[in-house]
Amino acid sequence: MSNRRKLRLGLAAYGTGWDLDAWRLPEASNTGLRDPSVILDIARTAERGKLDYVFAGSALGSEPDRLNRIYRWDNFVYAGYAAALTKNLGFLMSVNSSFEHPYGIARQLATLDNFTAGRTALNVVFGIDRDGDPIGNYGKNPMPTETTKYDRAREFTAVVNRLLYESWDDDLLLDDKAGGALIRPGSWHQIDHHGEHFDVRGPLNVPPPVQPHIPIVQVGLSEESLRFGADYAQVRFSPYFGISRGKEEYRKLKERVAANGRDPEKFKIIPGITFYLAGTTREAVAKFNEINALQLTEEIPSAFSAALGVDLSRVRDTERVLDVVDVESLDDGALKPFISDRARDVKNDRELLRQVLTAQVGEDATLRELYQYVQRSRHEQQPAVVGDAAKIADWLEENLEEHVLDGVQLFPPYHRGPADLFVDLVVPELQRRGIFRTEYEAPTLQGLLDTDDY
Ligand SMILES: Cc1cc2nc3c(=O)[nH]c(=O)nc-3n(C[C@H](O)[C@H](O)[C@H](O)COP(=O)(O)O)c2cc1C
């Protein structure tokens, strides 16, 4: 067994994949909108690759205009279904604490943790103002405000934990047939919680979870979300900030966790990536550009060409960027409105453009391909990693070694194909480099997340 730090890997389970346009590829199968076998296969694929868990975000709004997100399968039903077909794979359950009630969620979690023999984790999200207007679907529910949503999240998480772990003693089952006592007298406890947002008596009417602590995962961008994570969570599903800022954020967050008296090594920082993978990097870049071109784009706006210093009345948009843009004389800040640098690690716009050309769209990219990429990546919360297996493994290895992250959540752009390719090509490469497990080392998800990295 190699003594290198090991990645944690999660795989997103969405019926038509994550990319908003890739469903239009001729080879993409969109039956997953209605046919659960597609994401059941995602669970099987994830387990075949010895991945830590599968997950989907919490989506309570309605998005009939977002064609690949018309339907969103319910997480818990999906996990219950896929759990029976898997033995080691974890299930990360995303739950929105601004909308959900802790008693119902504790019931679902405890049930799933028993049914999976300890393979669940809870991802607490807080969003109120989300895509698809969930408030429109939860009209008369009492809602927190932007300022009270974290109070509610804290109370929610505390109540879920109390229901799970304080309702029952471990030796609750007496099974005294002669005496007529199935449950040991005094083995259950009301939690009698009375708080700002919830009143819950308890006990929970489901047996305690198998795991002594169901891992808590959290997302968010604000300072308050970091504080919540340092207090409650074992994993932060983090935005990605590039290497140098990412290292800084990683270090600060680990320090914050340590200052709370917790072991920072056991707190995992895991951003998401969308991956575009093929047998060769050339093919992967071509596929990425093909997908970018599937968006229904308008003409390149003059503000964009002006930022590049190109006059589109004289230069065709099919020209190669490097043939018509004088990279060295790009004005600093000109590209900012178009290319988010949040996910990148660059000093100035010249470097930003070079990096996009090298790592994303390829150095032969045309003006049109660059613009198509820019249009799409503007809304991305996570980087697109494009390349062959070695290149994707290089990206993961560098970020792991630089202490930017402890793992990633993988978002396949479409189905079927990319998730299998990742497991067949990238996982063996990571194993060969000694930065990913070759066997499941623990029977529970907490065990997988917690096991020493070396
Ligand atoms: C990486 C990431 C993933 C998120 N996933 C979800 C999600 O699946 N469902 C959801 O309702 N909100 C999701 N959110 C939104 C957060 O829960 C939160 O509402 C948002 O970041 C705004 O809160 P903040 O200002 O405290 O960060 C996500 C946020 C981030 C950064």
Q: How far apart are CA 218 and CA 154, in angstroms?
A: 11
State yes or no: pLDDT of 387 exceeds 90: yes
Question: Same domain, yes or no, for 265 and 300?
Answer: no
Question: Same domain, yes or no, for 335 and 412?
Answer: no
Of 330, 350, 377, which marks where a domain is finished?
A: 377
Task: Determine the pLDDT at residue 330.
Answer: 87
The rounded Å distance from CA 124 to ligand 1 centre is 9
**Average pLDDT for residues 39-55, to the nearest whole number?**
97
**Average pLDDT for residues 426-435, to the nearest whole number?**
98
Residue nearest to atom 31 of ligand 1 (CA): 220
Query: With DSSP H G I counted as helix, E B as strand and the rest as coil, what are the percentages for the chain, rounded to 5?
Result: 40, 15, 50
Question: Same domain, yes or no, for 226 and 113?
Answer: yes
Residue 3 domain-assigned? no
Q: How many residues does the chain have?
A: 454
Question: Same domain, yes or no, for 270 and 291?
Answer: no
Does ligand 1 lie within 6 Å of residue 237's CB atom? yes
Q: Which atom of ligand 1 is nearest to the CA of 221?
A: 27
Question: Same domain, yes or no, for 285 and 274?
Answer: no
Question: Same domain, yes or no, for 338 and 410?
Answer: no
Task: Show the domain range for 287.
Answer: 281-377
Does ligand 1 lie within 6 Å of residue 57's CB atom? yes
Question: Same domain, yes or no, for 162 and 310?
Answer: no
Question: Same domain, yes or no, for 43 and 121?
Answer: yes
Task: Determine the pLDDT at residue 379.
Answer: 65
Question: Same domain, yes or no, for 261 and 313?
Answer: no
**Average pLDDT for residues 362-370, to the nearest whole number?**
93
Of 377, 402, 425, which marks where a domain is finished?
A: 377
Q: How far apart are CA 247 and CA 253, in angstroms?
A: 10
Pocket test for ligand 1, best of 221, 237, 405 (most atoms within 8 A of CB): 221
Contact 366, 310 (CB under 8 A): no
Of 351, 377, 403, which marks where a domain is finished?
A: 377
Query: How many other CB atoms sit within 10 Å of the CB of residue 90?
Result: 30
> pLDDT above 90 covers what percent of the chain?
78
pLDDT, one tens digit per residue, over 164-209 is 999 999 899 999 999 999 999 999 999 999 999 999 999 999 999 9
Question: Same domain, yes or no, for 126 and 173?
Answer: yes
**Average pLDDT for residues 1-23, to the nearest whole number?**
92
**Average pLDDT for residues 98-115, to the nearest whole number?**
98
Residue 383 domain-assigned? no
Q: What angle do CA 45, 46, 51 make, to 5 degrees?
A: 150
pLDDT, one tens digit per residue, over 61-70 is 998 888 888 8
Task: Determine the pLDDT at residue 407.
Answer: 98
Of 161-165, 263-267, 377-381, the least confident: 377-381
Question: Same domain, yes or no, for 331 and 184?
Answer: no
Contact 414, 25 (CB under 8 A): yes
Task: Determine the pLDDT at residue 1.
Answer: 57
State yes or no: pLDDT of 216 exceeds 70: yes
Question: Same domain, yes or no, for 25 and 144?
Answer: yes
Give how many domains the chain has, as a whole number. 2
The rounded Å distance from CA 229 to ligand 1 centre is 13
Query: Would you say the C-alpha torsion 44, 50, 52, 56 has a positive or negative sign?
Result: negative
The rounded Å distance from CA 127 to ligand 1 centre is 6
Give the residue, 239 or 378, on which the prediction is more confident: 239
Residue 92 domain-assigned? yes
pLDDT, one tens digit per residue, over 71-97 is 999 999 999 999 999 999 999 999 999
Does ligand 1 lie within 6 Å of residue 130's CB atom? yes
